Amino acid sequence: MNVDVAIIGGGVSGLATAWELDAKGYSTVVLERQVRTGGHAFSENISGFMMEHGPSTINAFDPLAQNVSTRLGILSDQAYLGDGVKQRYLVDNGMLKAIPIHPFGFMTANYMSLPGRLRMMMEPFVPRGKSGTEETIQDYITRRFGSEFCERIIDPLVGGLYAGRASELSMPSVFPKMLALEEKYGSVAKGMLSKFFKGGNMPSKRLFSWNGGIGTLSRALEAHVKNVQTGVTVRSIRKTKTGYQVDCGDRGPIQAKSVVIATQPHVASGLLSTVDVEGAEAAHSISTPPLAVVFLGYKREQVSHPLDGLGFLAAEMENIGLTGAQFSSTMFPGRAPSGCVSITAYVGGARHPELARLPEQDLLQLAQKRLGSLLGIQGEPLVARVRHWHLGLPQYQLGHSTIVQTLEDTSQRNPGLFLTGNYFKGPSVAACLGKAQNTSSSVAEFLKSSTDQQDYFSGKQACN
């Protein structure tokens, strides 16, 4: 097979890249090792309950996500957060503490101590940090807002978003917009207030999915991509005079002018090892600790908690074994049959990778015990399912920006070879779509440049 572009990996990143290139008129093939596409973005209906095996929401204020939804014809199928989302919850000494969802909720709630709230209010008076200095999230937030705010607010947030630790992740790589506020206004709080009073969008103000779950996006992308092959294991990539040869084992080789690697970093490292040692080492250095998703469905009367929020997050200091949970049936319609509720708990990540490796029954027992205590649950679930992700979310640790730059420069060291995925601009679906769009533009530019050069030399030879 001969194509313009071979895309290795059929998750959202790979499918979106292929879709954009197809639209530009290039021939592509997507090679996916699993029997289905979509990667982590997989939604499953289980006896009327809908389980999200990976991501569950998209930022509704992201213009690219809305544009993609429109172009794929799935805009009318969007589902927005339900009216039942009225609180946010954090675990406080083994109990759930409700925090109002308005911007000043942490100030009015009693979750933090009075000294902790007073220290948080002093943030506008904290001097700017040294420009160009990379800090961990813990160091940065502690310096600006105090240690209690970091330990009790930001640490749970980092655990929920990245399944990581604030003490290990890079502030500029994870929260660059917060740093930009400090740089522009001299204070994060001042910057956020300025945006609020100017009518700007506050973080996590509005989220959406689709009636059929996040998997709707994967299915729509696959339907719009011209050539998708599943069950294909790519063994290696090697350079040729005309581009690259992709070894697909018993499926035969593929000749491509350009190759896009859209896999998890450890897979990318293996594929790069034969063509770009520097890039292979960079990809190998990205940690992806295991994560387990535990999905439970109950009759409504079994759960005494009102479930009137997105869910809850837990600081590592609470030591409950869960990074948090989502009240799935409260978030979006159609996530549970009438008279029932569904809850999704998350275990493992950088905090407790060993817990994510537990057998299914042990994970169910852990989740049911913790959720039973926190939410007042009685009896056995109607539905219980576990998804093990042996390689979870990429950890944007100190030095991540240097790693990313090395990987971005792969196409400079190896013209026509590109990478995309959730370890570049963020693990969210919207970030993956954005990176895929940028990657497709870079590939198209390379192919056009290569064609222009061939036309030039062919014309010159003809004239001679």
CB 191 within 8 A of CB 144: no
Mean pLDDT of 44-49: 96
* Same domain membership, residue 241 and residue 295: no
Q: Answer yes or no: is 16 within a domain.
A: yes
User: pLDDT tens digit string along 64-105?
Assistant: 999 999 999 999 999 999 888 998 999 999 999 998 876 667
* Same domain membership, residue 444 and residue 403: yes
User: pLDDT tens digit string along 135-153?
Assistant: 999 999 999 999 999 999 9
* Same domain membership, residue 271 and residue 190: no
* Domains in the chain, number: 3
Q: What is the CATH number of the domain that holds 129?
A: 1.10.3110.10
* Same domain membership, residue 242 and residue 151: no
The answer on pLDDT for 457 being more than 80 is: no
- pLDDT bin (cut points 50, 70, 90) of residue 301 is very high
Q: Answer yes or no: is 142 within a domain.
A: yes
Q: Answer yes or no: is 429 within a domain.
A: yes
Residue after which a domain boundary falls, among 199, 228, 261: 199
What pLDDT shows up at residue 200? 57
- pLDDT bin (cut points 50, 70, 90) of residue 454 is low
What pLDDT shows up at residue 100? 81
φ, ψ (nearest 5 deg) of residue 247: -85, 115
* Same domain membership, residue 404 and residue 274: yes
The answer on pLDDT for 29 being more than 60 is: yes
Residue after which a domain boundary falls, among 345, 360, 389: 389
Residue after which a domain boundary falls, among 362, 389, 416: 389
For residue 143 the two structure tokens come to 């310096």
Mean pLDDT of 151-164: 96
Mean pLDDT of 431-447: 97
Percentage of the chain with pLDDT > 90? 85
Q: How far apart are CA 283 and CA 266, in angstroms?
A: 6
Q: How far apart are CA 3 and CA 253, in angstroms?
A: 11
User: pLDDT tens digit string along 181-207?
Assistant: 999 999 998 888 887 767 655 544 589
- For residue 184, the enclosing domain spans 116-199
What pLDDT shows up at residue 130? 82
For residue 36 the two structure tokens come to 């289905």
* Same domain membership, residue 381 and residue 400: no
Q: Answer yes or no: is 101 within a domain.
A: no
Q: What is the CATH number of the domain that holds 442?
A: 3.50.50.60
* Same domain membership, residue 406 and residue 258: yes
Q: Mean pLDDT in the chain?
A: 93
What pLDDT shows up at residue 106? 75
* Same domain membership, residue 448 and residue 404: yes
How do beta strands 49-52 and 43-46 pair?
antiparallel
- pLDDT bin (cut points 50, 70, 90) of residue 456 is very low
Mean pLDDT of 409-417: 97
pTM greater than 0.85: yes
The answer on pLDDT for 133 being more than 90 is: no
* Same domain membership, residue 414 and residue 282: yes
* Same domain membership, residue 315 and residue 380: yes
User: pLDDT tens digit string along 223-274?
Assistant: 999 999 999 999 999 999 999 999 999 899 999 999 999 999 999 999 999 9
